[in-house]
Amino acid sequence: MRMESKRRRFSVLVVGVALVLWLAGDGGPACLPRPRRRQASAAVTVPNGDHDGAIQVGSLRRVYHLHVPPGYDGTAATPLVLVFHGLLETSLEMVDLTGFNRLADQKGFLVVYPDSVGRHWNDGRGTSALAPRDVDDVGFVAALIEHLKHTLAIDPKRVYATGMSNGAMFTQRLACELSDQLAAIGPVSGTMAEPIAGQCVPQQRVSVVEVHGTKDPFVPWDGGSVRALGGKVLSVPNTMARWVQLDGCRGALSTMVDEPHREARDDAWVRRVSYSPCQEGLDVVLYAIEGGRHAWPTGPSRRNPTINATEVIWDFFESHPKL
């Protein structure tokens, strides 16, 4: 009797366990679906500071450097700025060049610095000296944004892109092809590639702030052939005209003002040109560094007069969420 009682209790236990497993699995009834793991908890666990990460995109392992500011705890939707390096540069070089980490710590936004294949972004010029022409950098950025949205508490209406030179030309392409993800771009020393300009049809409008030196020897103000790797780009005025057209701005200039000098100089100054207002509350703005060359303006110096591009770009981003 005692042995038979034990057998019955064991049989009931087995049936109970099987029932629990069945209800939790795919065979359970529709009213008891398998619970999904919450992604929000992952955002809270990301510590402040610097992180190196990687994602698989097709057959390529793509890497990036992420900076999480103090005070970020994953509970509030936070802006994200993507920063793209120039030709032959790396993500870490952009950290030092731009100073975005320091500003992110002050303003409370996330910064990610992706790395290209062969230190060259596929910006649409069709050049392939350093990396295969068919490298899908646009697909990489789309996958990276999606990955970070599942890892961090990112505000989908405040995702921005900026870059230098080859990275700036690439941001122009991103605004054409990932307009559903980006609220605004801030290219520095890089205009729109000619092959991209003719086929740029954004799904959504994107605000643009461009910073460019009038004496840039690598990406000429007047457009044409790029000094490094070749390929052709639009002039600065034609790049701005293209965005004016795409963003439905009201035509010519609405304002043209000289930025105040931080340092008395006779050979260089900054001209701010606004093409706004545009449709849907967007803006298109140009900071023309008169006498400026191929550089990221960081404040008063012979090559970078008057403005700090990092501060100017963030101020523009901050006031231009996606509507």
Instruction: Give the Å distances, CA to CA, from 120 to 30, 58, 95, 250.
Output: 50, 18, 17, 36
* DSSP code string of 91-132: HHHHHHHH-HHHHHHHHT-EEEEE--STT----SS---SSS-
Question: Is 323 part of any domain?
Answer: no
Range of the domain at 226: 40-318
Note whether 168 and 64 are same-domain residues.
yes
Note whether 86 and 27 are same-domain residues.
no
- Alpha carbons 133 and 124: distance in angstroms, whole number: 9
Question: Is 264 part of any domain?
Answer: yes
- Structural contact between residues 298 and 262, judged by C-beta atoms closer than 8 angstroms: no
Reading the block at residue 4, the tokens are 């038979």
Residue found by looking up tokens 């457009």 in the block: 223
Note whether 163 and 31 are same-domain residues.
no
Question: Is 173 part of any domain?
Answer: yes
Instruction: Give the Å distances, CA to CA, from 154 to 80, 250, 304.
Output: 7, 33, 32
Task: Return the beta strands (E) in the chain as ranges.
Answer: 49-57, 60-68, 78-84, 110-114, 154-164, 184-188, 207-213, 224-225, 232-233, 255-258, 269-274, 284-290
Phi first, then psi, for residue 320 (nearest 5°) are: -135, 70
Q: What is the three-class DSSP state of 292?
A: coil
Note whether 255 and 285 are same-domain residues.
yes
Per-residue pLDDT of the chain (323 residues; tens, 9 = 90+): 444 444 444 443 333 433 333 333 333 333 323 333 334 444 446 899 999 999 999 999 999 999 999 999 999 999 999 999 999 999 999 999 999 999 999 999 999 999 999 999 999 998 766 656 678 999 999 999 999 999 999 999 999 999 999 999 999 999 999 999 999 999 999 999 999 999 999 999 999 999 999 999 999 999 999 998 889 999 999 999 999 999 999 865 645 555 544 444 445 578 889 998 899 999 999 999 888 899 999 865 544 446 899 999 999 999 999 98
149 CB-contact burial (10 Å; exposed 0-12 / middle 13-18 / buried 19+): middle
Question: Is 302 part of any domain?
Answer: yes
Note whether 13 and 55 are same-domain residues.
no
112's CB contacts (< 8 A; 6+ apart) are 64, 65, 66, 67, 80, 81, 82, 83, 144, 148
Note whether 158 and 16 are same-domain residues.
no
Question: Is 129 part of any domain?
Answer: yes
Q: Which of 239, 298, 300, 304 is nearest to 103 (CA)?
A: 298
Note whether 149 and 17 are same-domain residues.
no
- Alpha carbons 6 and 254: distance in angstroms, whole number: 89
Number of domains in the chain: 2
Note whether 19 and 109 are same-domain residues.
no
Q: Which CATH number is 279's domain given?
A: 3.40.50.1820
Question: Is 146 part of any domain?
Answer: yes
Note whether 157 and 270 are same-domain residues.
yes
Note whether 109 and 29 are same-domain residues.
no
Note whether 142 and 82 are same-domain residues.
yes
CA dihedral in degrees (167, 169, 173, 178; nearest 10)? 40
Return the pLDDT at 25.
Answer: 37
Reading the block at residue 283, the tokens are 């803006």
CA dihedral in degrees (310, 311, 315, 321; nearest 10)? 30
Question: Is 190 part of any domain?
Answer: yes
- Alpha carbons 159 and 127: distance in angstroms, whole number: 28
Q: What pLDDT, in 10s, does the model give residues 114-162?
A: 999 999 999 999 876 665 667 899 999 999 999 999 999 999 999 999 9
Question: Is 210 part of any domain?
Answer: yes
Write down the pTM of the prediction. Answer: 0.83
Note whether 9 and 133 are same-domain residues.
no
- Structural contact between residues 278 and 248, judged by C-beta atoms closer than 8 angstroms: yes
